[in-house]
Amino acid sequence: MKLSSAECHTPAGPPRAFSPRTRLVAIVGPPNAGKSTLFNRLTGLHQKVANYPGVTVEHRMGRLKARYIDTGIVHHVELVDLPGIYSLNARSEDERVTRDVLAGLMPGVPRPDAVLLILDSTNLGRQLMLAAPVLATELPTMVLLNMSDDLARRGGVLNVPELSKKLGAPVALVTASTGKGFDEIYDFLNAQLAPPRPIQLPILQDVPKTRKWAAQMSLASGYVAPAPTKWTRRLDKIFLHPVAGPVIFLTVVLALFQSIFTLAKPLMDGIAALVSGSGDLLKAVLPESVFRDLLVEGVWGGVGTVITFLPQILLLFLFIGFLEDSGYLARAALIADRMATILIAPLMTCSARLPIYVLIIAAFIPDKHVIGPLLGMRAIAMLSLYILGFLAAVATARLLKSSILRSERTPFVLEMPPYRWPKPSQLAMRLIDRGKVFLHRAGTLILTVAVVLWILLHVPTHNGKAPEIEHSIAGQVGHFIEPAIKPIGLDWKFGIGLISSLAARETIVGTLGTIYGTEGKETNGKLQEAVRKDLSPAGAAALLIFFAFALQCMSTIAVVRRETGGWKWPAIQFSYMLVLAYVGAFAAYHVVTWLS
Amino acid sequence: MISKCKLSDLPAGAEAILEAIELPEEEARHLMILGFLPGHRIEVGLSAPGGDPRVYRVDGSEVALRRETAKHLETMPLVGRVLETE
Ligand SMILES: Nc1nc2c(ncn2[C@@H]2O[C@H](COP(=O)(O)OP(=O)(O)OP(=O)(O)O)[C@@H](O)[C@H]2O)c(=O)[nH]1
Ligand SMILES: [Mg+2]
């Protein structure tokens, strides 16, 4: 059947926001086809991560490296890396986002001028199925057959011009990880764009027909599938072994949590020394003024303290990147199964939860050995928090029985990628990326909170002099809510911290940095020492529990709002979590007090 | 005598032809896109401890399913095939 795209796909989107000489090009492909690798190689460091409004799906925008641009037709090319999808059926949020972007229906994103469809050439028969709906959008499309190194090594072959003729669109064999075959991509991006030549496409809803069509395409282009990988089967025998498998899994998770705290220590001490050194220097060289105090106490105390934790965040993402790129994470998800949704998913996505745990734990939990030097209190705290957060989410879903955790009902279907040796350049990209996000937040949100807080700590003035901290506006607010948090072992300073953490969870660390900086107790970057005077171990436990349960991040609230179509459920969920957090923290405080 | 069998009842190393997916259309379609197509061959692979979920080799890739999903897939086992995974 001939399918004109207008029938079931939406027409062209809103008018272009870019100048005509700027092109927007979407990278589309199934999970693990190499989209991000391609994107990183094409854009280098000129990229930024963003969320579409109201959805948790992340996308990356980046500009094609300038040196590849031929001045002929195009001025520059903006690339967008979309989530991995198998079809455009809009079954999942990822598919919905991709479909909407390609149709030009995503608010704030103009319809792309062209598509780079990237497919794994080592399994072309199946991967080509996605070509049908993408070609049906009638956007100018280039089909990139990735992993050509793997294909060649394992003896697969393919006639590229023939496939191109069959698909009515340009096709290139590439290796995204090395840049092999990229010249053709640059040629495509720089030339006049033309929609694909109309071809006979299958009915998109009919999977067997689509699969048959894909088989015909690959057959007609002389595709010989490569030999299966031996290593993947061998390694699976170890990692999925009934006994060795779970043992390895637990070891990996514990080692991950433990090493985040131990390995990062020297680096953190170095940064702390830098922060406090430069703070002292500023204090010494700048003339005495309100501005100097704001800078040294507020900004250096707040933002500086948060920045100290950068090495831990980077280590965390380095480990996660290694696990993901090597293919082990999918096996870990299989072993943990039901826990996978929450125990593993935060490792896979860039969920805000994990870095926050790291930050809070490093700031408030003392660094003590529990089982020799191998397992410390912090790693154990991390693990407990993780499991608690998981249990809380499950309980919430049960209780609310709403569509909040819609994914809970869809079956567990997980593709196992082959094992691969992670590429250092890809890992480095991730780190730079995450580091940028972290520093960006420190430089915007946390900076703002630090400045506002510092001011609130210094008004109202008495005869031109700042009040005692206790009598400042911030101090009074803290004291006002102190009765509510006293039962969980926290004082008014933490009260201010908790209020500020409504903006973002990690703000509490910056806030306490500013408070102690203003008090003059804290030597910048050494928050832990300052905090320990005001926070008992039981209070620290309570604080962690509170954070594990309470304060959903803003994007979660936005998603719940969208899926339930109102503020009722997000409000209920928020209050429920808050109560749960308080009760949990109360219990933790008293249990730990009783124990010690 | 060869008889039909649920995919979830097949042991590791077994091979079978998929006959039908008894699931709501949307879920069935997703499984088909991943390679569980009626008439195609499935090879049963390794699993998490306890046998659930389990990896299946379909259409050139490996996909893990839970038992609660796999039990809705009707298959015709291929007998006489060597039960070997390597
Ligand atoms: N051998 C080889 N490996 C590659 C190539 N391109 C990507 N990879 C690897 O394939 C894996 C998946 O690549 P990604 O770029 O993360 O894939 P993706 O499409 O972004 O995946 P999702 O974002 O999960 O959908 C990574 O381990 C890459 O290092 C290639 O051309 N050759
Ligand atoms: Mg990616």
Determine the structural domain holding residue A534 and report its residue range.
245-368+375-403+429-595
Please tell me if the CB atom of residue A127 comes closer than 6 angstroms to any atom of ligand 1. Answer: no
- Beta carbons within 8 Å of A467's beta carbon, 6+ residues apart: A458, A459, A460, A461, A475
Which residue's structure tokens are 């569509």? Answer: A403
- Is the minimum distance from the CB of A177 to ligand 1 under 6 angstroms? yes
Q: Judge whether A33 and A107 are in contact, CB under 8 Å.
A: no
- Whether A340 and chain B come into contact, CB under 8 Å, resolves to no
Does residue A239 form part of some domain? no
Kindly state whether residue A153 falls inside one of the protein's structural domains: yes
How many CA atoms does the CB half-sphere of A371 hold within 13 Å?
A: 7
pLDDT at B41: 95
Residue A419 placed within a domain: no
Contact state of B33 with A86 under an 8 Å Cβ cutoff: yes
- How many angstroms separate the CA of residue A482 from the nearest CA in chain B? 49
The residues spanned by each domain of chain B are 5-78
Name which of A339, A357, A379, A326 is nearest A509 in CA terms.
A357
Taken in order A54, A59, A60, A64, is the CA torsion positive or negative? negative
Interface test with A, best of B62, B66, B67, B73 (most A CBs within 10 A): B62
Phi and psi at A40, nearest 5°, equal -60, -40
Q: How far apart are the first and last CA of chain A?
A: 75
On whether both A47 and A190 belong to a single domain, the answer is yes
Q: What is the distance of C-alpha A360 from the center of its chain?
A: 18
DSSP codes of every residue in A34-46 = SHHHHHHHHHTT-
**A206 in a domain, yes or no?**
yes
User: Is residue A412 in a domain?
Assistant: no
Quote the tokens at residue B84.
């070997």
Angle (nearest 5°) at CA A374 between A373 and A376: 75
Q: List C-alpha distances in Å: A279 to A35, A78, A285, A288.
A: 43, 40, 10, 14
- Which pLDDT score is estimated for A211? 95
CA A411 to chain B, closest CA, distance in angstroms equals 7
Contact between A125 and B59 (Cβ < 8 Å): yes
What residues pair up with A465 in beta bridges, in sequence order? A462
Give one DSSP letter per residue of B21-68, joined into a string.
Answer: E-S-HHHHHHHHHTT--TTSEEEEEEESTTS-SEEEEETTEEEEE-HH
Is some CB atom of chain B closer than 8 A to the CB atom of A206?
Answer: no
* DSSP alpha helix (H) spans, A230-352: 230-239, 244-263, 265-285, 290-293, 301-307, 310-326, 328-336, 345-348
* Structural contact between residues A116 and A38, judged by C-beta atoms closer than 8 angstroms: yes
Q: Cα(A202)–Cα(A212) distance, rounded to whole angstroms?
A: 9
Whether residue B63 and residue A208 make contact (CB cut-off 8 A), yes or no, is no
- The answer to whether A406 faces chain B, any CB pair under 8 Å, is no
For residues A525 and A512, give the distance between their C-alpha atoms in angstroms, rounded to a whole number: 11
**Sheet holding B54-58: strands in order across?**
A413-416, B61-65, B54-58, B41-47, B15-21, B73-77, B5-6
Q: Is the CB of A303 under 6 A from ligand 1?
A: no
Give me the DSSP letters along A23-72. Answer: EEEEEE-STTSSHHHHHHHHHTT-EEEEE-TT---EEEEEEPPGGG--TT
**Rounded distance between C-alpha atoms, residue A76 and residue A279, angstroms:** 42
Distance from C-alpha of A316 to C-alpha of A267, rounded to nearest angstrom: 14
Pairwise CB contact (< 8 Å): B69 & A245? no
CB B64 to CB A129 under 8 A? no
Residue A408: inside a domain: no
Instruction: State whether B68 and A240 contact (CB < 8 Å).
Output: no
Confirm or reject: Cβ of A33 under 6 Å from ligand 1: yes
In the 8-state DSSP scheme, what is residue A123?
Answer: G
Is any ligand 1 atom within 6 A of the Cβ of residue A121?
no
List the residue whose alpha carbon is closest to atom 32 of ligand 1: A147
- The pLDDT profile of chain A, 596 residues, written as one tens digit per residue, is 333 333 333 344 444 444 556 889 999 999 889 998 899 889 887 666 665 555 556 678 888 876 665 556 666 888 999 988 999 987 778 888 899 999 998 887 889 999 999 999 999 999 999 999 999 999 999 999 999 999 999 999 999 999 999 999 999 999 999 999 999 999 898 888 899 999 989 988 899 999 999 999 999 999 999 988 888 999 999 999 989 998 998 888 888 888 888 888 888 889 888 988 888 898 889 888 888 888 888 888 888 888 888 888 898 889 888 988 898 988 988 887 755 444 444 444 334 566 667 777 887 787 777 777 677 888 888 888 777 766 766 666 566 544 434 444 455 688 898 999 998 988 898 888 888 888 888 888 889 888 988 888 887 877 777 778 888 888 899 999 999 999 998 988 889 988 888 777 778 888 888 888 777 655 555 677 777 778 888 888 898 888 777 755 565 666 667 767 778 877 887 787 788 889 989 999 999 899 87
The verdict on A286 and A175 lying in the same domain is no
Q: Give the tokens for residue A557.
A: 């609230």
- Whether the upstream peptide bond of residue A53 has omega within 30° of 0, thus cis, is no
- A538 CA to middle of ligand 2, Å? 41
CA–centroid distance, A142 to ligand 1, in Å, is 18
Q: Residue B61 is nearest to which of A87, A208, A415, comparing CB atoms? A: A415
Is A180 close to ligand 1, i.e. is its CB under 6 Å away? no
Q: Does A414 sit within 8 Å of B53, measured CB to CB? A: yes
N-to-C CA span, chain B: 28
Distance CA A266, CA A445 (A): 27
Chain B stretch 42-61, residues whose beta carbon is closer than 8 A to a beta carbon of chain A = 45-49, 52-53, 55, 59-61
Task: Burial-class residue A191 by CB neighbours within 10 Å (0-12, 13-18, 19+).
Answer: middle
Give the pLDDT of residue A346: 45
Q: Is the peptide bond before A422 cis (omega within 30 degrees of 0)?
A: no
The enclosing H or E element of B77 equals strand B73-77
Residues in B closer than 8 angstroms to A87, CB to CB, are 33
In a domain, A278, yes or no: yes
Distance CA A590, CA A545 (A): 12
Helix ranges (H only) for A168-243 are: 182-190, 207-220, 230-239
Domain count, chain A: 2
CB-nearest to B34 from A240, A412, A413 is A413
Query: What is the dihedral sign for C-alpha A406, A409, A410, A416?
Result: positive
A104 CA distance to ligand 1 centroid (A)?
A: 27
**Domain match, A436 and A316 both:** yes
Nearest residue on chain B to A206, judged by CA atoms?
A: B29
Q: B34, A91: Cβ pair inside 8 Å?
A: no
To 5 degrees, how large is the angle CA A364–CA A367–CA A372? 150
- The rounded distance, in Å, linking the Cα atoms of A546 and A551 is 9
Name the token pair of A214.
Answer: 């894909």
* Nearest-ligand number for the alpha carbon of A42: 1
Phi (first) and psi of residue A77, to 5 degrees: -120, 125
The whole-number pLDDT of residue A172 equals 97
Query: Domain for residue A315, yes or no?
Result: yes
Domain identity same for A168 and A264: no
Give yes or no for residue A176 CB within 6 A of ligand 1: yes
SS (H, E, C) A454-469: HHHCCCCCECCECCCH
Cα(A422) to centroid(ligand 1), Å: 9
| Last-in-domain residue among A228, A262, A292 | A228
Separation CA A591–CA A586 (nearest Å): 9
> Which atom from ligand 1 is nearest to the alpha carbon of A178?
31
CB-closest option in B29, B61, B69 to A412: B69
Could you please state the CATH topology (level 3) that the domain comprising B5-78 is classified under. SH3 type barrels. (2.30.30)
- C-alpha A433 – ligand 2 centre gap (Å): 13
Asked if A260 and A194 sit in the same domain, the reply is no
B40 Cα to chain A: minimum distance (Å): 10
A196 and A257 share a domain? Answer: no
- Residue A507 · residue A445 · CB < 8 Å: yes
> Do the chains contact at B60 and A123, CB–CB below 8 Å?
yes
Residue B48 and residue A245: Cβ atoms within 8 Å? Answer: yes
Interchain proximity A416–B61, CB inside 8 Å: yes
- Global pTM reads 0.81
Q: The dihedral of CA A530, A533, A539, A540: what is its sign? A: positive
For residue A148, give the ligand 1 atom closest to its CA.
31
Least CA distance to B85: which residue of chain A? A233
CA angle A492, A496, A498 (to 5 degrees): 110
What is the predicted pLDDT for the residue at A147? 95
Ligand 1 centroid to A429 CA: how many Å?
13
Tell me the angle at which helices A527-534 and A507-519 cross, rounded to the nearest 10 degrees. 80
C-alpha span between A318 and A342 (Å, rounded): 20
Taking Cα atoms as reference points, which of A77, A83, A117, A118 lies closest to residue A100? A83
Residues 110-129 of A with CB under 8 A from B: 122-123, 125-126, 129
In angstroms, the CA A414 to CA A31 distance is 11
